[in-house]
Structure 1
Amino acid sequence: MKKILAISTSSPFDGQKIRDALDTTLIYAAIDQNISWLLLDSAVLALKKGQSAAHLGLKDHFKAIKTLEIYDVEQVYICEQAKAKYHLTDDQLSVNVITLNKPQQQALIQQQDFVVTL
């Protein structure tokens, strides 16, 4: 089984980039691949509870993020600096995450067979 890492760097309000990353992650999980998702920069805001993008005319993918649990995607990582920048706590996030600092992120990337940046 290959190790695959999806990386998101864009805001959840920046078009469909987060939705594409979520779909990619779920597809790999559905075919029993070892998939992880790393959210950097403003992408961490996609995991904040109680959001909606409907008023912006975007598809509401915030609820779909909860399906990660259904597909047994347990390796969701977020950037420690981004988490601090946006004043996020684990209680404010819609799924369980593992917070990584920069060296840990680099180590995670090095461990992967494939890295997809969306």
Structure 2
Amino acid sequence: MNRIGFVFQSSPHSTTKGREGLDAILAASAYSEDIHIFFIGDGVLQLLENQQPEQILSRDYISGFKMLALYDLEEIFVCQTALSNRGLQANNLNIDVDVIPNQQINEKLAQCAQVMVF
């Protein structure tokens, strides 16, 4: 099966995109093992640890990203520029990721046969 890319570019809890993207990844993992996941722009905020969505009466789907390892989804990339622009580092995130520059993000996205953006 062809490589599928999932791109998160929206901040968490402002829309349902993050939760829908996570659900789509978990569903697609039943059919494909060649999945790459990208967090760019405000999407890096999806992975911030210690979020308290219940304070805004939102569902805590963020902890669901920890399940990616259980599904053997290890190709998870975070944009280095997006992190630094927000004053963040990889140790601020709730899962292990590969922090890479924009150029590598673009190269890896180009290798995906299908790309879904959330």
Answer with 64-73 or 82-91: which moved more. 82-91
Q: Which residue of the partner structure matches residue 112 of structure 2?
A: 112
Percentage of matched positions with identical amino acids: 25
Q: Which residue of the partner structure matches residue 103 of structure 2?
A: 103
Q: Which runs of 4+ in 1 moved over 2 A?
A: 30-33
Contact 1:66 1:95 survives alignment (8 Å): yes
Structure 1, unpaired ranges of 5+:
none
Contact 2:77 2:98 survives alignment (8 Å): yes
Contact 2:47 2:62 survives alignment (8 Å): yes
Aligned CA-pair RMSD = 1.2
**TM-score normalized with structure 2 length:** 0.92
Which residues in structure 2 correspond to 1:72-87 (within 5 Å)? 72-87=72-87
Contact 1:15 1:58 survives alignment (8 Å): no
Q: Which residue of the partner structure matches residue 63 of structure 1?
A: 63
Q: Which residue of the partner structure matches residue 36 of structure 2?
A: 36
Contact 1:28 1:34 survives alignment (8 Å): no
Following superposition, the deviation at residue 112 of structure 1 comes to 0.7
Structure 2, unpaired ranges of 5+:
none
SS across alignment from 1:12: coil
Q: Distance in 1 between matches of 2:42 and 2:68?
A: 20
Q: Which residue of the partner structure matches residue 23 of structure 1?
A: 23
Q: Distance in 1 between matches of 2:29 and 2:88?
A: 27
Following superposition, the deviation at residue 82 of structure 1 comes to 0.8
Q: Distance in 2 between matches of 1:12 and 1:90?
A: 17
**TM-score normalized with structure 1 length:** 0.92
Report the number of matched residues: 118
